[in-house]
Amino acid sequence: MIRVQSQPFEVGEEQRLLLDGRRDIGAVVSFTGLVRDFNERPDVQGLSLEHYPGMTESSLAGIVAEAEQRWPLQAVNVVHRVGHLQLGDPIVLVMIASQHRRAAFDACDFIMDYLKTRAPFWKKEHTASGDYWVAERHTDLQAARRWEAS
């Protein structure tokens, strides 16, 4: 399931829904990204996330489909927020269920790497000294490239 929404999400509730009625799942791995108070500048007060409706969802669906081809997964849940977010707010959730843990760990890592470098979201950070658009990170591109070699 893929959702792009402005409302917050609750990880425990997402996991409960994912596992509801399932007896075949052996492992759940989830990653939650949060708004932190430092990034390119030290005094981040919040951020705004813009997306490209339609393309964002189809891009996420493509990334999830590729993960499902690479690993045997039983359920994938990706939630990404847009709009204004405050410090400590959850931004993104990737939750993977599989029979064995390795597939879930790897698929979660893969989806985050591809999401950060391919899904059309843009962050604008608000600081005491003004707002700025976040620049792409070389390390994120490198991380995504790992999956192409293997």
Partner 1 sequence: MTLTHLNANGEARMVDVADKPESRREAKATGAIHMHPATLQRLVEGQMPKGDVLATARIAAIQGAKRTHELIPLCHALPLSKVEVDFALDDARSCVHVTAQCRLNGRTGVEMEALTAVSVACLTLYDMCKAVDKDMVIDSIQLEQKSGGASGNYYRTTPIVTGQGGSGEVSLGTLSSAGEPCVRVKCLAELRERLGVGEINVPFQRMASTDIGGLKAALKDMDSRFAGLDEGRTLCAVNQVMAGDATPLTADDEVAFFPPVTGG
Which one of residues 37, 38, 86, 88 is an interface residue with partner 1 (CB under 8 A)?
A: 86
Q: Is 136 in the site for partner 1 (CB under 8 A)?
A: yes
Which string of DSSP letters, residue by residue, matches 37-53?
Answer: S-SSSS-EEEEEEEE-T
Is 121 near partner 1 (CB under 8 A)?
A: yes
Q: What's CA 74's distance to the chain center, in Å?
A: 18
Task: Determine contact, residues 119/136, Cβ cutoff 8 Å.
Answer: no
- Give the strand pairing for 44-51 and 121-127: antiparallel
Q: Which of 139, 137, 140 is nearest to 112 (CA)?
A: 140
For residues 103 and 115, which CB has a smaller minimum distance to partner 1 in the complex? Answer: 115
Nearer to partner 1, 25 or 30 (CB): 30
Among 36, 101, 118, 146, binds partner 1 (CB under 8 A): 118
User: Which stretch, 8-16, 20-28, 102-110, 114-122, contacts partner 1 (CB under 8 A)?
Assistant: 114-122
Residues 35-74 that bind partner 1 (CB under 8 A): 46, 48-55, 58
Q: Taking the CA atoms of 32, 37, 41 and 46 in sequence, report the sign of the dihedral they define.
A: positive
Which part of the chain contacts partner 1 (CB under 8 A), choosing from 10-18, 19-27, 68-76, 113-121?
113-121
Q: Residue 134, interface with partner 1 (CB under 8 A)?
A: yes
Site size toward partner 1 (CB under 8 A) is: 34
* Residue 90 sits in the site that holds partner 1 (CB under 8 A): no
CB closer to partner 1 out of 43 and 50: 50
In 54-112, the DSSP E strands lie at 75-81, 83-86, 90-98
Nearest Cα to Cα of residue 47 among 121, 110, 114 = 121
